[in-house]
Amino acid sequence: MAIVIHNGTHTTVAGFSQVDMPQVVCSSSYMKRADESLEFELDALLEGPESPIFTIMNPEGVPYDWEALEKQWRWIVETKLGSKLEETPLVITVAPDLPQEAKSQYLDVALRRLKVPVFQMVVEPLAVALSLGRNTALVVDIGAAKATVTPIIDGSVVSSAAIRSRFAGDFLDFQVYEMLKHQIESDESLPKDPSYAAWHNSRTWIQEFKAYMLQISPSKLQEMDSATVDILGMNSIKKFLYKKQKTISLTQKQCCSITEGIFQPSAASPQFSKDEGLSDIVAKSVKKAGASSTQASSASNVASAEQIHTALLTSIVITGSSSLIAGLEQRVVNDLSYQFPQYKLSSFANPLVLDRKLQSWHGGVTMANLPSWDLGDWISRKDHESNAT
Ligand code: ATP
């Protein structure tokens, strides 16, 4: 039985490939305890004591703290799952554009340092698409540090057309904090250490605020006239109880203004680029995928680009926990239908909250459970050792 680990920039999900639900959901950030051990357990981190928080993954979803990653995997496999590393096949999910150097580092940690017998790195969006039974899809993943758009055609990632932006969950945490900071600054209980405070706020009240209050306008907020705002009920008030201390009231329109930056970063701050909005990068990725197909095949260029556009636009898969914000899927589809008026659009987002949150891990599980070993890209410790010598 293999163990599957998904290291997101925000959350790490892990468990056995034969079990439906993961046994471990922990933080991808950690703190150092007095005895030099690293703490990854969510509840323990929330409890404190307050101390600086470090991250394992960089904003592109590639580890930059390999030592901590090794310790985290050891803790997951041995302590949490009670398995022996030397006896357990390991599958991990990785970014579509993982640099070669990071690939070698992953192999080194898994096969040489932790001594797992066989190891597989699966490309996260490809695994997500295949686990949903699609071998052609446009995977739009809105996570914490990043939103990633990856076209997949006939079971292969079109890496030249994969696009990423930093306008996702962490960006929203900042927007929420900025909007509410004047109302909560009198709260003496807020942590003081800057990295711990940011981490703690985003895992407690900001997380709740995002889940209950945030919503996304169906089209550009500033272009909506007052009659439409009225019809959509966006003047009605939503209330949020901050830490059982204080009620914060906002109109639905104000709630939409917090999330508008995901679609129009320049609306949040003029320093952000105009064309890095979510729908912009989705459209760009579709066009690039079409263009890359025309480079590959010389003869019937136009038709093949159009076929790619059609195939991707009828199979838009929306995933990542930040995609749970109400109205996100609809907004992406609405914006794309302006950009691609001649195409039929069809999107899928898992309606079950937990399934959507665990989608990447489930993708890894699907790849771990392929009916035959040769279908997966397994690398054995022995092969790795003999290649290294
Ligand atoms: P990445 O995809 O960047 O590697 P990840 O896989 O760790 O990160 P996800 O678990 O997909 O990230 O998303 C985490 C983000 O989703 C966090 O910013 C979190 O606050 C946000 N989030 C979680 N639940 C909800 C919700 N119900 N509504 C809105 N945002 C949510």
- Comparing 358 with 181, the larger pLDDT belongs to 358
Q: Which of 51-60, 242-251, 343-352 has the lowest mean pLDDT?
A: 242-251
Element (H, E) at 15: strand 11-16
Determine if ligand 1 sits within 6 Å of the CB of residue 324.
yes
Contact between 50 and 24 under an 8 Å Cβ cutoff? The reply is no
Q: Which of 78-87, 353-362, 371-380 has the lowest mean pLDDT?
A: 371-380
Determine if ligand 1 sits within 6 Å of the CB of residue 363.
no
Residue 303, pLDDT > 50, answer: no
Which residues sit opposite 142 in a β-bridge? 147
Determine if ligand 1 sits within 6 Å of the CB of residue 319.
no
Confidence of residue 298 (pLDDT cuts 50, 70, 90): low
Tens of pLDDT, residue by residue over 16-49, are 999 999 999 999 999 999 999 999 999 999 998 9
Query: What's the confidence (pLDDT) of residue 273?
Result: 85
Query: What's the confidence (pLDDT) of residue 296?
Result: 57
Q: Which of 33-42, 58-67, 180-189, 279-288 has the lowest mean pLDDT?
A: 180-189
> CATH code for 3-123+358-388?
3.30.420.40
Determine if ligand 1 sits within 6 Å of the CB of residue 321.
yes
Determine if ligand 1 sits within 6 Å of the CB of residue 143.
yes
Computed from CA positions of residues 292, 359, 275, 100, in that sequence, does the dihedral angle turn out positive or negative? negative
Q: Provide the 3-class DSSP secondary structure of residue 13.
A: strand
Distance CA 145, CA 125 (A): 16
Query: What's the confidence (pLDDT) of residue 294?
Result: 63
Query: Domain 169-268: what homologous superfamily?
Result: ATPase, substrate binding domain, subdomain 4 (3.90.640.10)
Tens of pLDDT, residue by residue over 120-156, are 999 999 999 999 999 999 999 999 999 999 999 999 9
DSSP secondary structure string, 320-386? SGGGGSBTHHHHHHHHHHHH-TTS---EEE-SSHHHHHTHHHHHHHHHHT-SSGGGS--EEHHHHHH
Pairing of strands 29-32, 24-27: unpaired
Determine if ligand 1 sits within 6 Å of the CB of residue 142.
no
Contact between 115 and 144 under an 8 Å Cβ cutoff? The reply is no
Of 170, 165, 181, 198, nearest to 272 by C-alpha is: 165
DSSP annotation of 57 reads B
Confidence of residue 389 (pLDDT cuts 50, 70, 90): low
CA 207 / ligand 1 centre spacing (Å): 9
Determine if ligand 1 sits within 6 Å of the CB of residue 145.
yes
The protein residue whose alpha carbon is closest to atom 1 in ligand 1 is 143
Q: Examine the predicted complex and report whether its ipTM is higher than 0.95.
A: yes
The protein residue whose alpha carbon is closest to atom 21 in ligand 1 is 322
Residues of the chain above pLDDT 90, percent: 84
Residue 245, pLDDT > 90, answer: no
Confidence of residue 372 (pLDDT cuts 50, 70, 90): confident
Phi then psi for residue 27, to 5 deg, are -85, 145
Tens of pLDDT, residue by residue over 183-226, are 888 878 888 899 999 999 999 999 999 999 999 999 999 999 99
The protein residue whose alpha carbon is closest to atom 19 in ligand 1 is 169
Residue 234, pLDDT > 80, answer: yes
User: Of the residues 10, 27, 56, 139, which should be mutated to test ligand 1's pocket, given the most ligand atoms within 8 Å of the CB?
Assistant: 10
Q: Which of 11-20, 103-112, 298-307, 374-383 has the lowest mean pLDDT?
A: 298-307
Determine if ligand 1 sits within 6 Å of the CB of residue 322.
yes
The mean per-residue pLDDT over the stretch 84-104 comes to 96
Determine if ligand 1 sits within 6 Å of the CB of residue 280.
no
User: What are the residue ranges spanned by the domains of the chain?
Assistant: 3-123+358-388, 169-268
Pairing of strands 147-153, 163-165: antiparallel
